[in-house]
Amino acid sequence: MPRTPWIRTLLLALVGTAFTVLLVVDDAAGADHLTNLLLAGEAGPSVDAVVADIPHADLAPGRGHDGQQFYAVARGPMHLDEAAEHLDRPRYRLQRPLFPVLAWALHPSGGGTGLVVALAVVGVAGVVLSGVAAGALSTALGGGSWPALVVAALPGSYVSLRITTADTLALGFVLGTLWAAETGRSRLGVVGAIAAVLTKESMLILLIAHAAARRTRASVASAVAGFVTTAGWWLALRVLVEADGPQVTEFTWPFEGMTAYAGDWLDGRNTIGAAMAVGTFALAFVALWRRGPRHPLFGALAVMTAFASVLNASVIALDFNATRTLGPLLALAILTLGTPTDGRARAADHSDRRPVDDARAVRPAG
């Protein structure tokens, strides 16, 4: 198994991150206040929490976006009921606690501008992590370390940082978990899986798909850890948090989310979301066709493509949503195309990489 060029991988990830940060700084330069990074809406679910801490907060028209709700949780993540008062779907939002918990750890004294900065710092760290993990995974599969730069500079990385969401951090954790599974690091993979699903629970689908396709001890251990964590936290939230409000269904028939919004795209609305959706699915199909089932990431890519196809228009058609929601699928497609089909870099000789269903031992003759 080739060694990971960690220094070069880190440098490439830092270059990609610098590019993303510069885009965010340039876009937010005209804002009245740093709270513009939260995109808290004047009629948003968390506006009361934001304004209570920062009376001069920069508010967006309408409901705003998701960053405000991560802020509401980060003010006091141990007080679930209090945080739930400022969330549109409390159990759904609280299913993803790690991003705001990490920000709270940097700024444990409550809300305010310092907490906004802490969320931004964790967001930047997530971009770096996603780049490093992508480069390491590519190297482990026999490719180059260049994905470290590319993944850190993806549109989803920019949007996640611009509106303060957990998507890029979750991508970094899950790619790191795949790297650990491919290199036989079971314990590290378990930690990464737990972090990934607590950052964004949908990462569990990727972990299970990878484990089902690879069937190695490390990949299965990661998937099991992710499943137990997700299920356990889901059950805990049913006990700890009241949630009687309306729920939203993010799923529909395959590709209906794109076809239903095609007219708006053709009218020039959310053209970035259109390019992201069409381009990502196109690249995923090319990767599946060119690499085939023998590729180590084929199973994960196939399942994530199917999963993304049933997301509704609000998730995969809008500029600020499609870019970050389809980020894992785009990263997987890039990594699949950028690494060899034969998986020559697999750690086949590692004791922790033997298939879990291969319990037979070769006995000497006689």
* Residue 192, pLDDT score: 98
Mean pLDDT for the stretch of residues 212-222: 97
* Residue 99, pLDDT score: 98
* Residue 223, pLDDT score: 98
* Residue 345, pLDDT score: 42
Contact between 321 and 272 (Cβ < 8 Å): no
Range of the domain at 293: 249-344
* Residue 175, pLDDT score: 98
Cα separation of 89 and 45, whole Å? Answer: 9
What confidence tier does 265 reach under pLDDT thresholds 50, 70, 90?
Answer: very high
Cα separation of 215 and 357, whole Å? Answer: 8
- Cα angle value 338/344/350 (rounded, 5°): 120
The reply to whether 285 falls in a domain is yes
Kindly report the pTM of this predicted structure.
0.92
pLDDT of 353 higher than 60: no
* Residue 247, pLDDT score: 63
3-state secondary structure 95-125: CCCHHHHHHHHHCCCCCCHHHHHHHHHHHHH
CA 226 to chain centre: 14
The reply to whether 172 falls in a domain is no
Give the count of beta carbons closer than 10 Å to the beta carbon of residue 314. 16
Place of tokens 């080739």: 2
pLDDT of 246 higher than 90: no
Mean pLDDT for the stretch of residues 259-268: 93
Residue 40 has what DSSP assignment?
Answer: B
Place of tokens 């931004």: 120
* Residue 359, pLDDT score: 41
* Residue 347, pLDDT score: 41
* Residue 364, pLDDT score: 44
pLDDT of 358 higher than 60: no
Name which of 74, 169, 176, 172 is nearest 122 in CA terms. Answer: 169
Query: What is the distance between the terminal CA atoms of the chain, rounded to a whole angstrom?
Result: 35
The reply to whether 318 falls in a domain is yes
* Residue 242, pLDDT score: 84
pLDDT of 38 higher than 50: yes
CA 131 to chain centre: 12
Mean pLDDT for the stretch of residues 338-365: 51
Cα separation of 122 and 70, whole Å? Answer: 12
What confidence tier does 30 reach under pLDDT thresholds 50, 70, 90?
Answer: confident
Name which of 206, 209, 145 is nearest 171 in CA terms. Answer: 206
* Residue 357, pLDDT score: 46
The string of DSSP letters for 220-241 reads HHHHHHHHHHHHHHHHHHHHH-
What confidence tier does 31 reach under pLDDT thresholds 50, 70, 90?
Answer: confident
Mean pLDDT for the stretch of residues 62-81: 95
What confidence tier does 280 reach under pLDDT thresholds 50, 70, 90?
Answer: very high
Mean pLDDT for the stretch of residues 169-197: 97
The reply to whether 330 falls in a domain is yes
Residue 166 has what DSSP assignment?
Answer: S
Residue 245 has what DSSP assignment?
Answer: S
> Which tokens hold the place of 57?
């907060």
The reply to whether 293 falls in a domain is yes
The reply to whether 333 falls in a domain is yes
Number of domains in the chain: 1
Residue 355 has φ and ψ, to the nearest 5°, of: -55, 140
Higher pLDDT, 3 or 235: 235
The reply to whether 267 falls in a domain is yes
Q: How high is the mean pLDDT of the chain?
A: 91
> Which tokens hold the place of 331?
């990263």
- Sequence-distant (6+) residues with CB within 8 A of 22 are none
Higher pLDDT, 242 or 75: 75
The reply to whether 43 falls in a domain is no
Name which of 193, 176, 102 is nearest 138 in CA terms. Answer: 176
* Residue 32, pLDDT score: 84
